[in-house]
A and B are shown apart, each in its own frame.
Chain A
Amino acid sequence: QVQLVQSGGAVVQPGRSLTLSCEASGFSLRSYAMHWVRQAPGKGLEWVGVISFDGLNIHYADPMKGRFTISRDNSKNTVYLQMNTLRLEDTAVYYCVRARGVGDQWGQGTLVVVSS
């Protein structure tokens, strides 16, 4: 069964860091670019960033540049999103997404709440 299983969501204080994980099962992650997309409560989808299949090319949306880092370990079939200096406005459900151009497989989402 093809799926992306996410973990790592939590309630954290502003300014702290958090790392999300996304593990693939039923397929090999090494053939795919992987994106992260987030959705604030009651809001639309916001693209976070992308990492190429080999990890050599990484791009971020402007609000995330300098604070978020996407990485991958193809030997563990896992992609990561490290988030530093978290802000209240980073509160959202975060999705990892498998992509061949478009996102054909989404993780279940993991909730990050930034609150003091």
Chain B
Amino acid sequence: DIVLTQSPGTLSLSPGERATLSCRASPSVSSSYIAWYQQKPGQAPRLLIYGASTRATGIPERFSGSGSGTDFTLTISRLEPEDFAVYYCQQSDSSLWTFGQGTKVEIK
């Protein structure tokens, strides 16, 4: 089974700052199968990034994804007030999904 480990658990930042979220896969996974989701309290998750680096429809350009093999990154270039939320990475190899444990981005 593919295990995804996200770090840090919590990221305390101010609006306007840059956020860098990490997702490590074990074993390695094709970047084609890596996605990122955003979840706000009381809401369903929303797809942000798929294929490790492709923004989903309607997702602002400040969100970007990168990485390959075992190390993947979600970057939010300049945090907006609505970006404070929990972020999950996901792998979808062989149609069997695994999620990371999540990174909470909170207001400092």
Interface residues of A (CB under 8 A from B): 33, 35, 37, 44-47, 50, 52, 57, 59, 95, 99, 101-104, 106-109
Given the contacts A101-B33, A101-B50, A109 and B99 also touching, CB distance less than 8 Å: no
Complex contacts, A57 vs chain B, CB 8 Å: 95
Given the contacts A103-B47, A108-B44, A37 and B95 also touching, CB distance less than 8 Å: no
CB neighbors of A among B79-108 (8 A):
88, 90, 92, 95-102
Q: Is the CB of B56 within 8 A of A104?
A: yes
Given the contacts A45-B45, A107-B44, A109-B44, A102 and B35 also touching, CB distance less than 8 Å: yes
Complex contacts, A102 vs chain B, CB 8 Å: 35, 47, 50, 90, 92
* B46 CB–A CB distance under 8 Å: yes
A-contact 0/1 string along B60-82, CB 8 Å cutoff: 00000000000000000000000
Complex: how many Å from CA A104 to CA B39?
13
Complex: how many Å from CA A72 to CA B21?
36
Complex contacts, A47 vs chain B, CB 8 Å: 96-99
Complex contacts, B102 vs chain A, CB 8 Å: 44-45
Complex: how many Å from CA A35 to CA B94?
13
Complex contacts, A101 vs chain B, CB 8 Å: 32-33, 50, 92
